[in-house]
């Protein structure tokens, strides 16, 4: 079946630091890949997505590239802000499943 | 994108009771999904609800515990039956976005606390 593995948190960084949150997946075929963000007290929002190999999703300064050879979809941002503090979920859709399979989430804390 | 409204947004319930969560979407959608997010955990799919057919439940979830209705293309309900403290979670309704992209849009969730 499908599965998503992402780095454990919490991840604590200083403002303007470089961010990487690792995500790897297991799925049959060619899944679509997603990053969702959950800000404190809010619902889940789609941050970015990629639907085929070598696609790069980007939004709000965040980027992630669909790497089929390494089955990865790592989230990166060049300079984080305090407002980026949230829980980030990597997810995939594919392998015949209609719903999304989520990773466990990474709690990101940005300190001023 | 779809706008999804859930009711109640939060509730405190007594052990042994049941609660029905409503999900209203501002557009017609074929597929709706119900997820559970236990405290500090990721999202787990409970079931897929398609209009006009029985809901499809994931492993570990059964209809007697989580009955679902899907009377039309814009509305669904999830009931959490005979609740115990282990059912304390956020329950989220979601809908499938454009077929080509496959992302889900989520409601803000219903936070249930069972005493």
pLDDT (tens digit, 9 = 90+) per residue, A66-84?
999 999 999 999 999 999 9
Chains A–B, number of C-beta pairs less than 8 Å apart: 50
Query: CA-nearest residue of chain B to A93?
Result: B102
Residues of A in contact with B101 (CB under 8 A): 32, 49, 51
Token digits for B50?
Answer: 């398609």
* Strand residue runs (E) in B14-74: 19-25, 31-37, 43-50, 56-57, 68-72
pLDDT more than 90, % of chain B: 78
Nearest-CA distance from A104 to chain B in Å? 5
Distance, in angstroms, between B82 CA and closest chain A CA?
Answer: 26
CA distance A51 to chain B (A): 7
B63-78 pLDDT, tens digit each: 999 999 999 999 999 9
Output the CA–CA distances (angstroms, integers) from residue A30 to A10, A21, A105, B39, in the order listed.
30, 22, 22, 31
Residues A51 and B102: beta-carbon distance below 8 Å: yes
């Amino acid at each position: 079946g499908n599965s998503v593995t992402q780095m454990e948190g919490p991840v604590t960084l200083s403002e303007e630091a470089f961010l990487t949150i690792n995500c790897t997946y297991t799925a049959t075929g060619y899944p679509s890949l997603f990053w969702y963000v959950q800000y404190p007290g809010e619902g889940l929002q789609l941050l970015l997505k990629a639907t085929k190999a070598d696609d790069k999703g980007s939004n709000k300064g965040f980027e992630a590239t669909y790497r089929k050879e390494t089955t990865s979809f790592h989230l990166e941002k060049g300079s984080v802000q305090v407002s980026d503090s949230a829980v980030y979920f990597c997810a995939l859709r594919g392998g015949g499943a209609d719903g999304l399979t989520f990773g466990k989430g990474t709690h990101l804390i940005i300190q001023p | 994108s779809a706008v999804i409204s859930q009711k109640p947004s939060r509730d405190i319930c007594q052990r042994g009771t049941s609660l029905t969560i409503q999900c209203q979407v501002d557009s017609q959608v074929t597929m709706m999904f119900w997820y559970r997010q236990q405290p500090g955990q990721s999202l787990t799919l409970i079931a897929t609800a398609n209009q006009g057919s029985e809901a499809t439940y994931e492993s570990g979830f059964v209809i007697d515990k989580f009955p679902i209705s899907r009377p039309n293309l814009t509305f669904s309900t999830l009931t959490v039956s005979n609740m115990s403290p282990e059912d304390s979670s956020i329950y989220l309704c979601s809908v499938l976005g454009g077929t080509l992209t496959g992302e889900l849009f989520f409601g803000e969730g219903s936070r249930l606390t069972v005493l």
